[in-house]
Chains A and B, each alone.
Chain A
């Protein structure tokens, strides 16, 4: 009886996971099919000349460094935040940490330059101190700073999500045993962080690999060219779809190799099978450590919030009243909210399916190492992040153009692509909590014969509520941003806020663009507020 019902629940998870995987494969595979249908790659060898090798090397180099510089500080920041649950302004800091996700790259770049640029705050200070002309941060420095600005806050939130899964009993035990911070880190915090490390580092790495506008704008010259630029070039100016596919596959293969290598660093958490009896955390943080933690949090806050403050200042200089009254702006806000909301509501169930399916397989396996299917469920779908949206857009355009009205298909494309692109984020927000809950409840559920909908409603939902809400908000914030997919479809039906930002910037209306960027940031922040409210466990 027990065996039968647990088998049934495993089946449900496996089917859901396979369906989610199929959805991702369909979207990417369809695009590749559409592009390759135009003709086979004419000269494969030509795609791998010296130029391309240099570009590939630079792509990996800058992405690797950026990941390191985002992840290591993020661990320190997440740990500091986790040890001070009532740090002043903590909740607001975490909400603000999600805002960069939804900002268009150029808005963030201008915000960063307001601080570190040649006409920025740093330049003024150095000038006043008689230090000569500040050269700005153009070059590798600029790329790294910008990537850290985007990814440090993201990684911090994901690590914190993992730290939150440490059972309260562990904290109590550590406290009762009088563990020093170093011992607590090694025995309590590091294991969960290490489990979350490959996923988070992999995600950041992928985001840095595909970085395009930031790398070119801050990189100082074409020496800083990523594969993404080459793909874009192949598809646009050279109009060579097969070459774009080959380069995309190269990008996917290189990234997959790095992600697999990263997974070696990971470790399965030997979780706590017992149900937690302690409710609150017992933490004794010494004065010296508290000071160090405070400093770490403050530094991270200044690093992330300062450029955002610059965006707010230039945004406030715009004629916000007039902008808010414009029909096109109101329409764009509504379009953005509807499209990103739809994407998020597609992304989160798919992500939950993947997480559940992976866990189901992990439970069933007897081997120590995960098998290929489990790995595929784990990291496979996130590789979609390194398939440029313009490639997916162009491929589907080719497939659809004869059958249906492609202009009508544009919103569907935007929702589908954004949903799939948001999945890797949602998966990382949900997985630590799901796995920890499963570790605790799996045997109990099997023993009591609770499965399917009842199990989700009674057992999983209460613990997953908060991470699901976080995943939803992340997915929505992220979906507010991208535009690449509709380049060919025509954007009349999908004029979103970031689209308006670019449109105004592209026609000398810089102040308007700054005002709209502020609006976009405010929208992201409201999403995080809503997520917090939605995720709050009713007491």
Chain B
């Protein structure tokens, strides 16, 4: 009897298997998304409960590695969706021909400047900002111009645009504000730069260990310190010219176009269940409607006077020349 029951249940299991296996969605993303404290675990739980399917996140180092990974895999990729590119990478990503239109109505999106891209769909955004230590620097610069021309004794740590996303962000910020004069601006700012690190982590580590009173980071950085560490010590400086915007996006691949779950996930991504998770896990602003109000700390963050964003194709075309300009100004 028991044996027959076991046989029966295993038969049932077997018959259930193919259906479950078909209900699987693979999303490539970056590592901090799937970290224990990142959005990944909560998003996975919420989406799986909704679709009754298996959502698998596969993570690589960061946004750039993500694009390279998909580029290398080409049409053989296992990814239905790639989540975690930013607006500076979309032109190159689109050029691979591996991504298809998302088909989601962008009406509910709350991205500054609006959103019309048919292929890439935003899930969060943030602004680059100079974060400063209030105990060391009572009066931070109030504009990019003041940062460039101010007292060179008050140092800043920045990131290298050749290896880091925020580093590229500052490069574009200066370009957006100074245009053709960017080279001269960098030549002036150079004396104020304590050092240029390969990535955000090294720069922020130097900053919090007191090596410099300023660091290039995000307007949302103080939110982490206020919420998780209950300290007001680190604040972002509001710049009069406006702040450069970083929008993080996802897109469906040609492989994912054949999976019905792909569209479901993209719609879910812009909805409140996903968006509620973002602020305090990814430390960015939600790009869609949320159900829960944001932690009050987010209301106290710098609200940029203006959002700066250079068009993705312009960035892709000129990136090398602009980095060279930066190099020659900074290497003198």
Contact = CB atoms under 8 A, between A and B. Distances in A.
Given A221-B330, A233-B162, A237-B163, A508 B211 contact: no
B198 interface: yes
Number of contact residues on A: which range applies? 35 or more
Contacts of B211: 113, 117-119, 136
A398 interface: yes
B230 interface: no
A401 B76 contact: yes
Interface in A502-524: 502-503, 505-508, 510, 513
Contacts of A490: 58-60, 69
Contact of B196 (A221, A235, A508): A221
A222 B58 contact: no
A97 interface: no
B304 to A, nearest CB: 21
Interface string A112-138: 011001110000000000000100101
Interface stretch (A211-219, A251-259, A263-271): A211-219
Given A488-B60, A491-B60, A508-B228, A219 B195 contact: yes
Given A136-B194, A136-B211, A397-B72, A503 B163 contact: no
Given A503-B35, A507-B35, A510-B205, A118 B221 contact: no
A236 interface: yes
A213 B72 contact: no
B202 interface: yes
Contacts, number: 148
A113 B60 contact: no
Contact of A232 (B60, B71, B163, B195): B163
B208 interface: yes
B277 interface: no
B305 to A, nearest CB: 26
A217 B202 contact: yes
A220 B209 contact: no
Number of contact residues on B: which range applies? 35 or more
Nearest to A239: B68
B201 A223 contact: no
Contact of A222 (B35, B60, B320, B327): B327
B99 to A, nearest CB: 16
26 contacts: A106-B201, A113-B209, A119-B209, A138-B194, A213-B198, A216-B195, A216-B197, A216-B198, A216-B202, A217-B195, A220-B193, A221-B193, A221-B331, A229-B162, A229-B198, A237-B163, A239-B71, A397-B72, A488-B65, A488-B68, A490-B58, A490-B60, A491-B59, A506-B201, A508-B204, A510-B209
Interface of A: 51, 54, 106, 109-110, 113-114, 117-119, 133, 136, 138, 212-213, 216-223, 225, 229, 232-233, 235-239, 328, 394, 397-398, 401-402, 407, 487-492, 502-503, 505-508, 510, 513
The 4 closest A-B pairs by CB, nearest first: A119-B210, A505-B201, A223-B331, A506-B201
Interface of B: 31-32, 34-38, 58-61, 64-65, 67-69, 71-73, 76, 92, 153, 155, 160, 162-163, 190, 193-202, 204-206, 208-212, 221, 224-225, 228, 283, 319-320, 324, 326-327, 330-332
